[in-house]
């Protein structure tokens, strides 16, 4: 009985550890995603003002035909 009990306790302990690890990873991902999203929201207006043409090197810009 002692061997079975310790095996069950070890298995439950391992499952608890794995679930806690997944929870910690999900919380970190949520925190990072929220932070990055807030930073992007702050930059969104400035990024919208940039034209794609201004981001290209000059040697490529002269090849592009604008409508």
* pLDDT tens-digit series, residues 13-65: 999 999 999 999 999 999 999 999 999 888 887 877 776 666 666 555 555 55
Question: Who's near 56: CB < 8 A, 6+ residues apart?
Answer: 64
3-class DSSP state of 57? coil
Whether pTM > 0.85 for this model: the answer is no
How large is the average pLDDT for residues 4-17? 95
Alpha helices in the chain (DSSP H): 2-49, 58-61
């Amino acid at each position: 009985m002692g061997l079975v009990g310790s095996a069950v306790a070890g298995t439950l302990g391992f499952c608890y550890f794995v679930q806690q690890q997944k929870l910690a990873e999900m919380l970190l991902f949520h925190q990072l995603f929220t932070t990055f999203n807030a930073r992007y929201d702050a930059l969104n207006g400035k990024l919208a003002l940039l034209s794609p043409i201004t981001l290209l090197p000059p040697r490529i810009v002269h090849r592009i035909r604008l409508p």
